[in-house]
Amino acid sequence: MATAAAVVDAGDAPDPTVRNLLEQESLKWVFVGGKGGVGKTTCSSILSILLASARQSVLVISTDPAHNLSDAFQQRFTKFPTLVRGFSNLYAMEIDPKVENDDFSNEGMEGFLSELTNAIPGVDEAMSFAEMLKLVQTMDYSVVVFDTAPTGHTLRLLQFPATLEKGLEKMMALKNKFGGLLNQATRLFGLGDELNEDAMLGRLEGMKDVIEQVNRQFKDPDLTTFVCVCIPEFLSLYETERLVQELAKFEIDAHNIIINQVLFDEEVVESKLLKARINMQQKYIDQFHMLYDDFNITKLPLLPEEVCGVQALQNFSRRFLTPYKPALQRGALEEVEQRISVLKTALQEAESELDRLRKGKQVA
């Protein structure tokens, strides 16, 4: 990889922005994923805002149990698409990765479903995801952005077709084993034929069809891409490498990496701790460029405040389209003057503190 990266000319390097996502008009599904705490929700929110400026209609969905979309937009979202305030074509929704039991008002049916979900780990998430996809497919969104849970959950999401296949096999095994006992029980208690195992089997079969249909789209690079979000640290680099390898295994396209929370050396920094951190970050940023020399790698600066609310998201969105350049360049006349000014201010504050302490000591 190192040699491959070395021969890439600066002019041939991919654009360090997300413009390629906005220009790919065929895109239908955009996944945003990575390690926990790296800023996935902020990035998926901003990507959805940018896409809304280029596409007819956009839906951003949170599949993370710890929903943060409501916090990012400062607006309450539910499991149904809600128009984001300030937009005419951007919608958001938050789904829980567990089976919605609203359709199963009978305890016996819930127990049967519970036995199924306990027997096959992940089938409850798969069924919930399938129901959500069925809902989304009935709507006419130009592009759907997924704000996914941390990496492990995301990889499970990609395995859902296989998980539902196991669920169907289990259902068939239970049907053969009990030989219609469940049907007899439902009729005995006057529950009606709509709650028999054939109805459940049909529902599961329908979900499997939906997921397999969408899964074919997920494997089409013209329709689907995965954006990896990370920070310049070892664990995040390791997690991103694992994610990229798994995506390749599932035949899902990925060619964008967003490196968040970057400290830039050119900023006026006088802290030894921050300088050490800058050097550490740069080491991992270099590794990202070496490993992913054919990816669009976007670096975002660490901000002094949280990015919350539509206005803050829109302000920060320009960093996704234009590479960040600090106002001052290390070693330039203006930067040295600024550093001297910062040091003078710090010295004045320290002298004032010293005077205050001396006066306090004299009074005592």
Percent of the chain with pLDDT over 70: 69
Question: Residue 1's pLDDT band (boundaries 50, 70, 90)?
Answer: very low
Per DSSP bridges, beta strands 82-83 and 90-94 are antiparallel
Per DSSP bridges, beta strands 29-33 and 296-301 are unpaired
Q: What is the pLDDT of residues 322-354, one digit of tens each?
A: 988 776 666 677 767 777 877 788 888 888 888
Q: Which helix (H) or strand (E) holds 319?
A: helix 310-321
Query: Is 117 marked within a binding site?
Result: no
- The mean predicted confidence, pLDDT, of the chain is 79
Query: Is 138 marked within a binding site?
Result: no
Question: Residue 209's pLDDT band (boundaries 50, 70, 90)?
Answer: confident
**CA–CA dist 272, 115 (Å, integer):** 57
Query: Is 36 marked within a binding site?
Result: yes
Question: Residue 107's pLDDT band (boundaries 50, 70, 90)?
Answer: very low
Query: Is 233 marked within a binding site?
Result: yes
Is the pLDDT at 32 greater than 70? The verdict is yes
Is the pLDDT at 187 greater than 60? The verdict is no
pLDDT at 50: 96
pLDDT at 211: 73
Query: Is 28 marked within a binding site?
Result: no
**Joined tokens for residue 152:** 């492990």
Beta strands in 119-209 (DSSP E): 143-147
pLDDT at 127: 63
**CA–CA dist 259, 71 (Å, integer):** 22
pLDDT at 339: 72
Query: Is 176 marked within a binding site?
Result: no
**CA–CA dist 57, 90 (Å, integer):** 6
- On whether the CB atoms of residues 264 and 245 are closer than 8 A, the answer is no
Is the pLDDT at 271 greater than 80? The verdict is no
Cα separations in angstroms, 42 against 20, 300, 323, 337: 19, 11, 17, 35
pLDDT at 152: 65
**Hey, which residues are catalytic here?**
64
Q: Which of 21, 16, 74 is nearest to 52 (CA)?
A: 21
Query: Is 244 marked within a binding site?
Result: no
Per DSSP bridges, beta strands 256-262 and 296-301 are parallel
Is the pLDDT at 111 greater than 60? The verdict is no
Is the pLDDT at 117 greater than 60? The verdict is no
Task: Tell which wins on pLDDT, 130 or 294.
Answer: 294
pLDDT at 321: 93
135 residue type, one letter: L
Is the pLDDT at 181 greater than 80? The verdict is no
**CA–CA dist 8, 194 (Å, integer):** 62
Query: Is 41 marked within a binding site?
Result: yes
**CA–CA dist 171, 182 (Å, integer):** 12
pLDDT at 2: 39
pLDDT at 7: 40
Per DSSP bridges, beta strands 82-83 and 29-33 are unpaired
pLDDT at 180: 58
Q: Count of CB atoms within 10 A of residue 237's CB?
A: 20
pLDDT at 9: 47
- On whether the CB atoms of residues 106 and 187 are closer than 8 A, the answer is no
Query: Is 42 marked within a binding site?
Result: yes
Beta strands in the chain (DSSP E): 29-33, 58-62, 82-83, 90-94, 143-147, 224-230, 256-262, 296-301
pLDDT at 145: 93
Is the pLDDT at 146 greater than 50? The verdict is yes
**CA–CA dist 291, 234 (Å, integer):** 13
242 residue type, one letter: R
Write the DSSP assignment of 49-102 as a string of letters: HHHHTTSS-EEEEE--SS--HHHHHTS---SS-EEPTT-SSEEEEE--SS--GG
- On whether the CB atoms of residues 95 and 61 are closer than 8 A, the answer is yes
pLDDT at 231: 95
148 residue type, one letter: T
Is the pLDDT at 256 greater than 50? The verdict is yes
pLDDT at 6: 41
Is the pLDDT at 360 greater than 50? The verdict is yes
pLDDT at 68: 83
pLDDT at 4: 41
